[in-house]
Structure 1
Amino acid sequence: MSVYLYRWGKFAFRRKWIVLPVWLVLFVLLGGLGAQLSKPMSNDFSLPALPSERANEILDKHFPGASAAYQFDAVTGTYVIAAPEGQKLTDPANRAALQAFIARLDQLDIIDHSKPLSNPIEATDKLGCLADPDPAKCSGAPLNVLNKTEPATVAFMSVPFSIKTFDDVTDAHREAASNVAADARNAGLTVELGGSIAQPTGGPSGQAELIGMGVALVVMILAFGAIVAAFIPIITAIVGLGAAMSLIMVGTGFISLPSFTTFLASMIGIALSIDYALFIVSRYKHERTVQDSPEEAAGTALGTAGSAVVFAGLTVIIALGGLSVIGVEFMTWMGLGGAVAAAFAVLTAITLMPALLGAFGRFLFTPKLPFVAKHDPEDDRQVTNGMRVAKLIGKAPWAALILSVVVLGALAAPAAGLNLGLPGEDSMPKDSTIRKAYDLRTDGFGEGSNGVLNIAVDLSGVAKDKREEAVQALRTKLGSYSHMDYVTTPQWSDDGQGALLDGVPKSGPNNQDTKDLVAEARGAEAEFESTYGMQYGITGTTAIYADIDHVLLSKIAPYLAVVAGAAFLLLILVFRSILVPLTAALGFLLSMAATFGATVLIFQEGALGLIEDPRPLVSFLPIMLIGLVFGLAMDYQVFLVTRMREEYVHGKAPKEAMISGYHHGARVVTSAAIIMISVFASFLLETDAIAKQMGFALAAGVLLDAFLIRMVLIPSLLTLMGKWSWWIPKWLDRVLPDIDVEGAKLVELQNKSVELDKEPVHAS
């Protein structure tokens, strides 16, 4: 590999005015195709074969068409209306304003007019609940009369829309659904809109990427000690990310991709592009000091650092592409989107980068900044901070090992309380109408009213004279659970063989008590089937969230095992060692546990007050985090430890090889990690809850793995293990392919070239 990259590096450097236009044409072509073929992305995070689907089957059997309202991509809308402070909705003026609002709402062309709209005051009055708010009959009333707050002050209206799926909702639809309440608001009513009709589309704003690039630029200026060179990785990042995003947009023209595919790809694309370019440019800077030919320096840099980049990028691609083995469609596409971004990061680093080095030529490392990057870490005669840290670890390896394990173990402890959930209306910004609707409904009806359990009952196997008794027994049983607030009166199907109950939990959709309630309610089915021959299923937002959480939580351990196993096998190829890959994989597991713990501590438990609304972690975050940080961890392992192995192979003692390799690689790994952390942490500035959590978790994962695992724990273990670090059975060494990440064949090629140049030329 190193020889091919060496030759390509020289060619691209020399033929820069061919390579650069080719990249420009490719970039414009992909951008044009992406713009022409792109279609809206999906927000469907549903999974196949969930237990909640059983309820939909019963609904379709006895309530034809009713299951559509419980589909993950259904267009739902709930208006929550509150009276002015100190007043009631039943006051004449407020009642009139509410009736006028319903009349205007009924005129919207996006409303399904086959289903008449119901005035919540009149619906409550028909139940007799205005005069006698008896919990037995008024629990399902759309006007709060059961003293959750002041009676008759808050109401809600679930409105049917004619829009087929969430992906069909446009900004014009959202604006119309909101503006229809303008007159009611002017009359003094508070009207907020919840449901998917109010759900905004689009991912992060893009500001985070700019901030991340800004920090990366500063870090690279400090690393290179020059301004022009610092812009080269920025250029490759823009080109690589732009090309990857365009290709993903092309993909939306043929398949439905989840909206967060672009968010994940942008995080990966920016960070990896800059990291890989940083690694190659750093090596090129060193080669310029030891070689007379810039072209030869570019070839050598690409043959050595470029080989490591290819392998490091391959680990990221494998980790992200490996998400497809989980069997969750939206995670498969998100992983493949990230893999595309990683592939373009590698491609720009090894093809575009050497051409840019040739284009900027002698201006690359000018002007040099005084007192910045003064010492070259490639010069063994100079004492760098990396060498000082390495010597300190070498003197006290046990202390370094124990300290890093204790810190990581302490951070990992909160991970035992990991709770997962999907981003719901409670995760929206507090100033959004969808969050205001959630809070208003919570105040009026309890938080559980935002995540009702829809219990579909199949009575076809129950004797006709026992059906009402069976349903009432089920209602009583469900209502007796400690986490259930109340269960509504049953709604019967036209054929008399089905019933629909709504169970309102005491807690919100993502609360663990609510998920336990779902499991408890489902667990009672065997008893009722045995007694009455009755079957039922539970669906609704809460049940679907609980199902998805359970599925994804069950996938964490298998995926972690697959990733750690892949790390072990891949690193055997790179380091031709058993213990180095083993410690690398185990170190990754430790950094993952600590990252989970830190994220739980901040986002779930609200430690340090950094998060205003603590809530469960996003369901797919742990698996995505494992895939991403695995790839990045292997990047740093390759960048740092290959140099240690190189020094050992060239004759240094294990401890001295560790110190020398650390001296050579510490600056680039530190710079790369800081850039990654900056890019990821910048997403904390986004308003989106998923972006915040993923940004923090990725930043924490890189911080812990790069600085505690790769730069403290691994060097201390290499020192303690000594020569056994590089032991491998002879039979295994013979059968393993030589991928030559360290560029040994390149050195042989260069030595042969030098010998040929020295041979005298004889005239014939």
Structure 2
Amino acid sequence: MSTFLYKISNKAFRKPWYFIVSWLAIVGLVATLLGINGIHISNEMKIEGTESQRVLDQLSNELPIASGGQGSVVFKASDDQRLDTPERGAAIGKIISEVYHLDYVVNTAELASGANDLNAMMMQNANPDDLPPYGIMIVDGMPLPGVLLSADGTIALFQFQFTDELTAIPQDVKDTIIETVTALEKEEEISVLPSESLLSLEIGIGSGEVIGLIVAAIVLLMTLGSVVAAGLPLLTALLGIAIGVGGAFSISSFIEMTNVSAILGLMIGLAVGIDYCLFIVNRQRRLIFDQGLSAQEAASRATGTAGSAVFFAGLTVIIALCGMLVMGISFLSTMALVAAATVLVNMLLVLTLLPALLGLVGEKICSPKARNKNQLKAANATRIGFSDRWVRGVVKFRWLVIVVVIVILGIAATPILKMDMGIPGAATANLDTAARQSYDAISEGFGEGFNGPLILVAELEDSSSKLTIEHLMGLVMELQSQDNVSQVSPLGINENGNLAIFSLIPDTGPTDIETKELVQQLRELDLQTGGGVTLGVTGFTAVNIDMSVKLGNVFPIYIGIIVILSLIILMLVFRSIVVPIKATLGFLLSILATFGITTAVFQWGWLNDVFGFDTGGPLLSFMPIVTTGILYGLAMDYQVFLVSSMRESYVHGHKGKESIVHGYNQASRVVLGAAVIMVSVFAGFIFTDDIMIKQIGFALTIGIFIDTFLVRMTLVPAVMAIFGEKAWWLPKWLDRILPNLDVEGDKLIAKLDKPNEILRKDQES
């Protein structure tokens, strides 16, 4: 591997424009496809095989008009005035009629076949004390279809249904609905609050990400000491993002793409693209300074040695991400493939385009100022730096260090015992957003349950029979008697008459534990109403609940896959038993502490003002899986770069604890710089408005911080010091079986001892 990468780098350095033009052609192809196909993103996240998805699929076959997505608009009168005055009522009625005549919107009358008669009968027979405080909005003696009015008349809720799933509804249709209803704000001084499902999806890029890039640029400049050297990693990473994420967008019209998938690719692409370039450019400059090599030879050797570590580190990240595919969850698979493809593109850019760019720069990669500074540093080589003092202190007090780190991470992990998973939505949006204001207005006027109605499907086991009005009324009364149920309303019956759908409003909100318990209770309910009726539960709330449950069930499986992969890959890279076990256990400590701190911040609301959100809520259900895959890959990056340096020192004559100290000093600075860059890039996403991106960004930021500074740069050298040379022990039989990957480039260095052998053969070819 090292020899092959050396040859590729040498060619790229000597003939840079071949490689540069090739990559620019790929960028042009991606831009062309993007221009032709456009960008299509959604927030639909469904999981095949769940009960709620099964019921939705059944509805799409039996009653297609009822299987579409739902939208709602809240009308709120100013100064506590009533909405059902003749003037305001007429204005609202006119707007409602216009919405019902838009494409993709279902008229309530078309859906409620037989339901109106049943609702009227129930109203007549109901005890007045049992009726809800709200009711259907009446204008000129006629009910407004789909509109409820609060008890005090100040809030009206307009609920409607689309003909298709929300992801299939063009955004311009939703924008037209919003434009139509918001006309009331000017005409009648009525506040109009569209639901979250109507608002346009935006890719959450803002000033935070720009600040993160600026910090990364500063760290690169401080680490590499040259504007030219610092600019190359940024340029390469941005090009990788353009190809990786742009390529994903270019096919988003054929593959369902969530905005989270794109942001995830952007996060990981920026981070690894900058880091991998940093490792190679730093190695090249060290070879120039320390061994007096030419820029060409130093670039080739750096790619052959540090490039091998980059290759295996990148491969580790890709394998960790692709491990999500075994779960069979489509939207997670898309996320994983987008992120993995972006990592692959960045890795190939670093190993091919970066040497070409270094060829254009030539000897300017090290400025005269940097060369003079290095000579002064060499003259004062006896001076002990911070990294040397730190690692010697860690080695000396290794047992104390191990205990302290484990205790700190253990305490940080304790909130994980109370972790609640779900899909953050309007309930946890910031108070100044339209989605949150709509949610709060609905809760105020009608109760929190109206923000997350459940859709129930009642079907006769005997398909030849038909549901009667009395039968349906019995079902409604039985469902209404269940705990935590506010209201049950029939919505429609299929053409065969053997399947009916109902809307059930819980007393509690869509993310409350009581609502989850209600869904489970309804699915286990043994209906007493005669006729052999089976009951299915679906709707947005039920879909999210099922998604969280399934993701929670597959998470331990994914962790198991990660652990096994970690042991195998690290055993191949380091040819050791102790190092893989130690690295994997350290990662488990990191990930548990990460989830614990994330729970305390986003669920319990600790430091919410600092991180820019108003209300705590459930953690994103797929966040643990996504962040585990990314953090594992990045943690192993630092493990490879740091410990391979220790192994290189051991192989080249430094024995015992001295190999740990020497290897640490050689790699710690660049690992520290890479970690600060990662933290800066990920932290930029914490301050986006999207709560899902915010949670993922925070988890990755705190995870990298913990794993780098507490585990890799503190716990690892302490544990290595306990084992000493035994850390590199490998049974002879296993040593014979395992292939020698030559990550440290020993074979390459041995060949280079023969004058220009590789270069001569390469030039002859």
Alignment TM-score > 0.5, same fold: yes
Distance in 2, Cα, partners of 1:174 & 1:254: 21
Helix, strand or coil: the match of 1:565? helix
Residue 34 (structure 1) aligns with:
34
Q: Which runs of 5+ in 1 are unaligned?
A: 758-764
Residue 746 (structure 2) aligns with:
744
Distance in 2, Cα, partners of 1:521 & 1:756: 72
Which whole-Å deviations, capped at 9, do the CAs of 1:308-335 have from their partners, x for residues lacking one? 0000000011111121111101111110
Alignment of 1:346-357 (within 5 A): 346-357=347-358
Change beyond 3 A, Cα 1:375–1:104: farther
Conservation of the 8 A alpha-carbon contact between 2:7 and 2:758: no
Q: Are residues 1:686 and 2:688 paired?
A: yes
State the one-letter code of the partner of 2:95: F
Q: Are residues 1:96 and 2:97 paired?
A: no
Conservation of the 8 A alpha-carbon contact between 2:318 and 2:340: yes
Q: Are residues 1:154 and 2:142 paired?
A: no
Residue 204 (structure 2) aligns with:
204
Which whole-Å deviations, capped at 9, do the CAs of 1:135-154 have from their partners, x for residues lacking one? 54547844599x99753322
Distance in 1, Cα, partners of 2:469 & 2:108: 29
Residue 704 (structure 2) aligns with:
702
Which whole-Å deviations, capped at 9, do the CAs of 1:194-221 have from their partners, x for residues lacking one? 253x131232235444322211100011
Helix, strand or coil: the match of 1:456? strand
Conservation of the 8 A alpha-carbon contact between 1:148 and 1:446: no
Change beyond 3 A, Cα 1:109–1:643: closer
Change beyond 3 A, Cα 1:104–1:496: closer
Residue 558 (structure 1) aligns with:
557
Higher mean alpha-carbon deviation, 705-714 vs 124-133, is at 124-133
Residue 339 (structure 2) aligns with:
338
Change beyond 3 A, Cα 1:697–1:368: farther
State the shift of 1:448 in Å.
1.2
State the shift of 1:540 in Å.
1.0
State the shift of 1:549 in Å.
0.7
Change beyond 3 A, Cα 1:230–1:123: farther
State the one-letter code of the partner of 2:174: R
Q: Are residues 1:719 and 2:721 paired?
A: yes
State the shift of 1:371 in Å.
12
Distance in 2, Cα, partners of 1:378 & 1:105: 79
Change beyond 3 A, Cα 1:45–1:371: farther
State the one-letter code of the partner of 2:551: L
State the shift of 1:51 in Å.
0.6
Conservation of the 8 A alpha-carbon contact between 2:429 and 2:615: no
State the shift of 1:7 in Å.
2.1
Query: What TM-score comes out, normalization by structure 1 length?
Result: 0.89
Which whole-Å deviations, capped at 9, do the CAs of 1:8-40 have from their partners, x for residues lacking one? 222222222333233323322332233334452
Distance in 2, Cα, partners of 1:105 & 1:756: 73
Query: What TM-score comes out, normalization by structure 2 length?
Result: 0.89
Alignment of 1:485-496 (within 5 A): 485-488=486-489
Conservation of the 8 A alpha-carbon contact between 2:601 and 2:607: yes
Higher mean alpha-carbon deviation, 531-540 vs 481-490, is at 481-490
Change beyond 3 A, Cα 1:194–1:129: farther
State the shift of 1:65 in Å.
2.5
Alignment of 1:558-597 (within 5 A): 558-597=557-596
Change beyond 3 A, Cα 1:726–1:479: farther
Conservation of the 8 A alpha-carbon contact between 1:9 and 1:354: yes
Residue 622 (structure 2) aligns with:
620
Q: Which runs of 5+ in 2 are unaligned?
A: 760-765
Alignment of 1:392-407 (within 5 A): 392-407=393-408
Conservation of the 8 A alpha-carbon contact between 1:77 and 1:158: yes
Change beyond 3 A, Cα 1:473–1:123: closer
Residue 297 (structure 1) aligns with:
298
State the shift of 1:486 in Å.
3.9
Distance in 1, Cα, partners of 2:439 & 2:332: 28
State the shift of 1:666 in Å.
0.7
Change beyond 3 A, Cα 1:131–1:195: farther
Change beyond 3 A, Cα 1:732–1:148: farther
Q: Are residues 1:609 and 2:604 paired?
A: no
Residue 421 (structure 1) aligns with:
422
State the one-letter code of the partner of 1:33: L
Alignment of 1:148-547 (within 5 A): 150-161=151-162, 164-185=164-185, 186-194=187-195, 196=197, 198-205=198-205, 207-289=207-289, 290-366=291-367, 368=369, 381-461=382-462, 475=476, 478-488=479-489, 497-525=498-526, 528=528, 533-547=532-546
Distance in 2, Cα, partners of 1:443 & 1:110: 29
RMSD of aligned C-alpha atoms? 3.4
Which whole-Å deviations, capped at 9, do the CAs of 1:380-429 have from their partners, x for residues lacking one? 75522211110010110011111111111111110111111124333445
State the one-letter code of the partner of 1:503: L
State the one-letter code of the partner of 2:524: G
Conservation of the 8 A alpha-carbon contact between 1:522 and 1:538: yes
Distance in 1, Cα, partners of 2:741 & 2:177: 60
Change beyond 3 A, Cα 1:756–1:401: closer
Q: Are residues 1:548 and 2:560 paired?
A: no
Distance in 2, Cα, partners of 1:431 & 1:690: 17
Residue 731 (structure 2) aligns with:
729
State the one-letter code of the partner of 1:652: H
Q: 78, 87, 92: which one pairs with 1:84?
A: 78
Distance in 1, Cα, partners of 2:744 & 2:259: 39
Which whole-Å deviations, capped at 9, do the CAs of 1:462-512 have from their partners, x for residues lacking one? 998997787666555544554433444686666554443332222221222
State the one-letter code of the partner of 1:236: T
Distance in 1, Cα, partners of 2:474 & 2:339: 51
Distance in 2, Cα, partners of 1:373 & 1:165: 63
